Structure 1
Amino acid sequence: MIKRVLAWVDERTGLGRFAEAFLFQNLPGGSRWRYSWGTLLLYVFFLQAVTGFFLWTAYSPSTQTAWESIHFIQNEMTGGWLLRGLHHFGAQAFVVVLVLHLLQMVIYGVYRAPREVNFWLVLLLLPLAIAMSATGWLLPYDQHGFWASRVPIGIMGVTPVIGPWLQKIAMGGSSVGHHTLTHFLALHAGLLPLIVALVLGGHYYLNRKHGFADAPKDCGCPDEPYFPAQFLKDAAACLAVLIVLLGFVLVPLWQNPGAAPGVHLGAPADPSEQYSAARPEWFMLFLFQFLKYFPGGTEVWGAMVIPGLVMTVLALMPFVAKWKHGHRFNVLFIGVLAVGALTLTRIALVQDSKDETYLTAKEHDRRSAERMRQLVSERGIPPSGGAALLRDDPFTQGPKLFAKNCASCHRFDGHDGTGRMPLNTYTVRAGDTWESIAEYRFTKPEQLRDLNKSLGGRALKPGDQVTVYARPWAPDLKGFATREWLAGLMDPARVDGPRFFGGTKFKDGKMVKWVKKNCTSEKAGDLKKVIAALSAEARLKSQAGPDKADAELIKQGRALITGDFACTDCHSFGKKDPDATAPDLTGYGSRAWLLRFISNPNHADFYGKRNDRMPAFADKKILDAKQLGLLTDWLRGEWYVPPKNGTK
């Protein structure tokens, strides 16, 4: 019955004869592993098409839904993380196999007549593969994808004559947004795969038409049909590639079971926040590095002219090979290209490994991505999109607001809130030494020398430009109003140091003198009570337990504040004192107190006219109400913390 059906199909379609010709095509010199590259290329493309199709079914291309749909694929869709992982690494495998196939064709001379067109088709796949990769970067719409995609868009813009028009068509407007996503998706999942499929089909057809490359005449190897030996080699090679791809997806999960499965998904794109670690995929790092050598208006040479000349030379290889030493020249040329690309890639990787800005941005991206997973698991994704979760999160926004608005004077645990140390350039004056500069900036001479290795540690001369840590002019606010922070403030040995009043005009003021005189070891017991009482005014969630347990201690501390310690000689506490000359301690460090203080430190309840330099952030419209709230909550350490062991 089956034979009759097959005979009927063959009689009407010729498929049986086609299959027979396909499977039993003669291979000069027998089967070889190097004949598998073309099949591997087809296989990886097929894998990309299948995984891409299923990803497409769950993807929604808009600025409010792109990241959200990828998050759904990654975390909720059954097997979605595996599909995305295979698709991600499959794209890289396609480029690797393509380049190796091209190298093989040149080395073995499989580009000469009558195989010129076949060679050109493989060559055409190079820019197509790069275009498919570049159009895919933006689709997750995370920080990395958003900023990395601006590189190819920028390259479009430098194209002579049609650059601005081409750039506008790609973006769908004047900036990257919703229409850019739809355009890139149409290219990535529609037009470009169709062209690649046609080119691959043509390549495979011509490969069969012209036959496999002849074996060396002195090989002595008998001819073989394609099936079964070469067929099994091709199948084994395809299986090996699949195993490698699965390894890239699964091994990291095995090494770190607690990590999110699949390919990294960064925080949602934020056009207002520059991402300093935006890089293309590793196989395009050589071009990224190459473009660095063409600054300003010369980038068209690195992006268009020189790559165009290289592609032209590659396309002319079939004709160059007709010269006496043409083939050797071709092999040498493509070898130099390969070595050059590898060298540039290595330079880019080494530079990034030493670039603090890049490393900091990568770490920030990792933390933001982890934070997004926490917030989404707790609150879900709002209709306004995932980015809104981070915009409303004190843990995320607080450090940024602090670094931008507060770190010129304050520090947060010694840095600017984001982990960076603020730096300045200082011009050395007569009499300056490493030691004197370090002392003024509350640092150590050896740290300054490390910042200025170009000077070789030599003695400073007037006029030298040195990089220095910015001097803090106000207290370090890490742990503000906690018992630990107040204990430092009331420590005679630390009150006039850099963490408190050391950088302010109050270094020799009444408060510092009072602490040095009254906060002695003999009064340690009473001081502990005062600190507990004052810290309790802040009503910190992190101290709710100790505050409740120490209710009696706090009660005694309140009495000491208005009694033996005489804090109310300068401060108000519990009730308004029109004669108070220092900040009101009622509700000290509480959310309401901090909001009022940051909004207007010049108010009579705070520093009044004695304010050193702190601006009125609300009155001067430096920060709006939402930003003030985010900064305040962050300083108080109040943000969502994921539950431990399933409990909140």
Structure 2
Amino acid sequence: MAEPSNNSRPGLGAWLDNRTGYKGLLHEVLFENVPGGARWRYVWGSTLSFFFVVQVITGLFLWMSYSPSSQTAWESVYYIQHQMLGGWFLRGLHHFVAQAMTVLLVLHLMQVIIDGAYKAPREVNYWFGVVLLVLVLALSLTGYLLPWDQNGYWSTAVSTNIVGMSPGLGQPMQTVVVGGASYGHHTLTRFFALHAGIIPGLIIVFIVGHVYLFRKHGLTPKQPLKGPDQGFWPEQVLRDAVACLAVLVVVLFFVVREGGAPLGAPADPAEQFSAARPEWYFLFLYQLLKYFPGKTEIIGAIVLPTLCMAVLVAIPVLGRWKLGHRFNLGFVGALLFGAALLTWQAVAEDRNDAEYQVAKVVSKRDAERAVVLANGGVPITGALTLMRDDPYTQGPRIFSRNCASCHRFDGHDGMGNALPADSISASDLSGFGSREWVQRFLNADSILSRKHWGGTIHAEGDMALWLADHIPESDEEKVTRRNVVLALSSQAKLAAQAELDRTDSVQIALGIQYMRNTSSGCAECHKFQDVGTDSPELTDWGSREWMIAFVNDPTHPRFFGRDNDRMPSYGTEKSLSQREIEMVVDWIRKEWYRPKVKAEQR
């Protein structure tokens, strides 16, 4: 008997089909009948499925570098964003695809409602779609917390407080979601488990069910049909691919323009964050709550959203009514219009809210500063430690809370909030110790302005009177006064003008010589170096050591003594810690950590 020919053996494709039946499955998927032919209005479901796959893939890669704990979450996201090769692009793609999916879901819902694709026998499939809408929004909500930055932390705090408003089981549910009585590590791990495991798993289950029911009942074509029936392949597949590519191009535009996804400063439960806002697609709910203050807040937070969701779920039932389809169209249209209007109002109010705009500037400043500090190395205690020990970020906060009731810093409270001019009762400390500041201070007119002693008891003191009686008139007197300004400013030892002080060393020496004069110079009234006796002492005036000692106790004989005008003794009264005093002093002096510049970058 002849040996069988090798040509009779089945190929790899035939062998694989014999074992798996993939050709039949592929035929079922690609050659579905499309009544009336392919249309662009059918692309939204496929586009959503494509971007969910993108989310899963990017999410898995992000997971590989993410560390879900309150002490490592921000640090790991910082690593992804700023150090991992392509990490910024990966984060940006994940972030903006999530936003795109919200838009696509709304478009898909509109198409389903307009086409009446919720009607029998497709009610269950419609409800699957509503559940998927809720799950995708929940996915976005839980993902917002994971960077563990200020905006995500405080926005999540607001959203979980809304859960607690629910009557009956509200408080227990909030405790379960938060992971205890306060926000912290367990809150983050719960949200991570929901975001990376539970919710995606549920979405996959409901997508499978949604697609199964869709294939079971087929498309609901828009009447009248525009042409003969066509297969899903290739006409509709081509349209779906073009739609996916178009949305992807838009997403990539935002990813590149924004340099990835935003990352704020590390979450700080002890620091209120006025710039916290939800993502734009939740802004309408945020705005709605403003119309229900106090005890009525539950109406905007729970009652109205629940009623709207109930009507959305009931749409297939309402559609059986004679005018039901028109009602459904009107309801969805009104719902979308209302959400758009509330969103616009929220954006407009924020744009005109001076306090919020200042908070945004501070938020951006802190976010940029956190990256600068983290670039220098993150301690084992986490990046928040760096922020809390940083004069650049903490100095203005300490100043605003403790000093701004009397002082200003360049006309504001240190945080950028402008305050009434008539509330200033002590010197503006911006540039304290600099040549410009001393020049104004040693001027008979400007020392009595609001920038200096205009609102203090010292306005009628010996210093102001002396300046009024010793206005320089001759060129020699003007030169001497200028040398004194340079000499007194040099006592502050400001790093920003160290080079100038070295350049003007001759004039400074002449100024110091005049200051030491006990008959007509500064030593006539003040102690300076080894001459003079009276206070305030001018030796090292305005230096870091001098300022720290002054803030500790301005009533010390070295300073104002009994002539002190309302200045609290922050150190001796223990109202500020030694480190807080040091940070506010370093901030006023503009001396904080700056990364070293390499020689080739100079």
TM-score band w.r.t. shorter chain: over 0.9
Q: Of 554, 574, 577, which aligns to 2:529?
A: 574
| 8 Å Cα contact 1:490-1:519 kept in structure 2 | no
For residues 546-580 of structure 1, give each alpha carbon's deviation from its aligned partner in whole angstroms, at most 9, with x where no partner exists. 21122222221111112264312221011375x51
Q: Of 426, 446, 456, which aligns to 1:494?
A: 446
2:298 maps to 300
2:161 maps to 154
2:513 maps to 559
1:29 and 2:40 are equivalent in the alignment: no
Q: Report the alpha carbon displacement of residue 224 of structure 1 after superposing the two structures with TM.
A: 0.8
Amino acid at match of 1:566: G
2:426 maps to 474
2:586 maps to 633
| 8 Å Cα contact 1:38-1:204 kept in structure 2 | no
1:504 and 2:456 are equivalent in the alignment: yes
Alpha-carbon distance in 1 for matches of 2:385, 2:165 = 34
Alpha-carbon distance in 2 for matches of 1:419, 1:124 = 45
Q: Of 542, 559, 566, which aligns to 1:606?
A: 559
| 8 Å Cα contact 1:28-1:215 kept in structure 2 | no
1:112 maps to 119
Q: Report the alpha carbon displacement of residue 584 of structure 1 after superposing the two structures with TM.
A: 0.5
SS of structure 1 residue aligned to 2:399: helix
Alignment of 1:44-63 (within 5 A): 44-63=51-70
| 8 Å Cα contact 1:410-1:475 kept in structure 2 | yes
Question: CA 1:565/1:414 → structure 2, altered by over 3 Å: closer, same or farther?
Answer: farther
Question: CA 1:398/1:576 → structure 2, altered by over 3 Å: closer, same or farther?
Answer: farther
1:122 and 2:93 are equivalent in the alignment: no
SS of structure 2 residue aligned to 1:183: helix
Q: Of 574, 585, 596, which aligns to 2:538?
A: 585
1:90 and 2:101 are equivalent in the alignment: no
Amino acid at match of 1:495: I
Question: CA 1:234/1:381 → structure 2, altered by over 3 Å: closer, same or farther?
Answer: same
| 8 Å Cα contact 2:391-2:584 kept in structure 1 | yes
Q: Report the alpha carbon displacement of residue 469 of structure 1 after superposing the two structures with TM.
A: 4.4
SS of structure 2 residue aligned to 1:521: coil
2:361 maps to 363
Q: Report the alpha carbon displacement of residue 41 of structure 1 after superposing the two structures with TM.
A: 1.2
Alignment of 1:235-250 (within 5 A): 235-250=241-256
Question: How many percent identity over aligned positions?
Answer: 47
Alignment of 1:408-447 (within 5 A): 408-422=405-419
| 8 Å Cα contact 2:355-2:417 kept in structure 1 | no
Amino acid at match of 1:228: P
| 8 Å Cα contact 1:519-1:527 kept in structure 2 | no
2:398 maps to 401
Q: Report the alpha carbon displacement of residue 473 of structure 1 after superposing the two structures with TM.
A: 1.2
Alpha-carbon distance in 1 for matches of 2:217, 2:193 = 35
| 8 Å Cα contact 2:37-2:226 kept in structure 1 | no
SS of structure 2 residue aligned to 1:83: helix
Amino acid at match of 2:515: I
Q: Report the alpha carbon displacement of residue 4 of structure 1 after superposing the two structures with TM.
A: 3.0
**Greater Cα shift, 185-194 or 554-563:** 554-563
1:81 and 2:88 are equivalent in the alignment: yes
Alpha-carbon distance in 1 for matches of 2:523, 2:300 = 70
For residues 225-284 of structure 1, give each alpha carbon's deviation from its aligned partner in whole angstroms, at most 9, with x where no partner exists. 1111111111111111111110111134xxxxxxxx312211111111111121111111
1:456 maps to none
**Greater Cα shift, 513-522 or 596-605:** 513-522
Question: CA 1:106/1:215 → structure 2, altered by over 3 Å: closer, same or farther?
Answer: closer
Alpha-carbon distance in 1 for matches of 2:13, 2:417 = 72
Alpha-carbon distance in 2 for matches of 1:521, 1:193 = 81
Amino acid at match of 2:380: P
Alpha-carbon distance in 2 for matches of 1:588, 1:483 = 13
2:214 maps to 207
2:4 maps to none
| 8 Å Cα contact 2:537-2:559 kept in structure 1 | yes
2:285 maps to 287
Q: Report the alpha carbon displacement of residue 3 of structure 1 after superposing the two structures with TM.
A: 6.1
For residues 93-138 of structure 1, give each alpha carbon's deviation from its aligned partner in whole angstroms, at most 9, with x where no partner exists. 1111111111110111000011111111111122212211111111
For residues 574-611 of structure 1, give each alpha carbon's deviation from its aligned partner in whole angstroms, at most 9, with x where no partner exists. 1375x51x301111111111111110000011111111
Amino acid at match of 2:385: A
1:321 maps to 319
Alpha-carbon distance in 1 for matches of 2:256, 2:236 = 30
Question: CA 1:519/1:3 → structure 2, altered by over 3 Å: closer, same or farther?
Answer: farther
Q: Of 223, 230, 240, which aligns to 1:234?
A: 240
For residues 498-536 of structure 1, give each alpha carbon's deviation from its aligned partner in whole angstroms, at most 9, with x where no partner exists. 111111011111100111111313211111111111112
1:172 maps to 179
1:517 maps to 469
1:334 and 2:345 are equivalent in the alignment: no
**Greater Cα shift, 12-21 or 56-65:** 12-21
Alpha-carbon distance in 1 for matches of 2:168, 2:422 = 47
Alpha-carbon distance in 1 for matches of 2:478, 2:10 = 100
1:13 maps to 20
Q: Of 168, 177, 189, which aligns to 1:182?
A: 189
- Structure 1 residue ranges without an equivalent (≥5): 253-260, 423-467
Alpha-carbon distance in 2 for matches of 1:623, 1:518 = 39
**Greater Cα shift, 40-49 or 470-479:** 470-479
- Structure 2 residue ranges without an equivalent (≥5): 1-6
Alpha-carbon distance in 2 for matches of 1:209, 1:529 = 92
Q: Report the alpha carbon displacement of residue 300 of structure 1 after superposing the two structures with TM.
A: 2.2
Alpha-carbon distance in 2 for matches of 1:128, 1:214 = 27
**Greater Cα shift, 387-396 or 616-625:** 387-396
Q: Report the alpha carbon displacement of residue 334 of structure 1 after superposing the two structures with TM.
A: 0.8
Question: CA 1:215/1:486 → structure 2, altered by over 3 Å: closer, same or farther?
Answer: closer
SS of structure 2 residue aligned to 1:112: coil
Q: Report the alpha carbon displacement of residue 642 of structure 1 after superposing the two structures with TM.
A: 4.4
Question: CA 1:175/1:576 → structure 2, altered by over 3 Å: closer, same or farther?
Answer: farther
Amino acid at match of 1:241: V
Q: Of 484, 491, 494, which aligns to 1:530?
A: 484
Amino acid at match of 1:15: Y
Question: CA 1:123/1:32 → structure 2, altered by over 3 Å: closer, same or farther?
Answer: same
Q: Report the alpha carbon displacement of residue 634 of structure 1 after superposing the two structures with TM.
A: 1.4
Alpha-carbon distance in 1 for matches of 2:497, 2:21 = 82
For residues 339-396 of structure 1, give each alpha carbon's deviation from its aligned partner in whole angstroms, at most 9, with x where no partner exists. 111111111111111111111111111111112222223x211211112222222111
Alpha-carbon distance in 1 for matches of 2:536, 2:601 = 40
| 8 Å Cα contact 1:138-1:145 kept in structure 2 | yes
SS of structure 2 residue aligned to 1:495: helix
2:262 maps to 264
Q: Return the TM-score normalized by structure 2.
A: 0.95
Amino acid at match of 2:13: L
| Aligned length, in residue pairs | 591
Alpha-carbon distance in 2 for matches of 1:629, 1:220 = 76
1:383 and 2:380 are equivalent in the alignment: yes
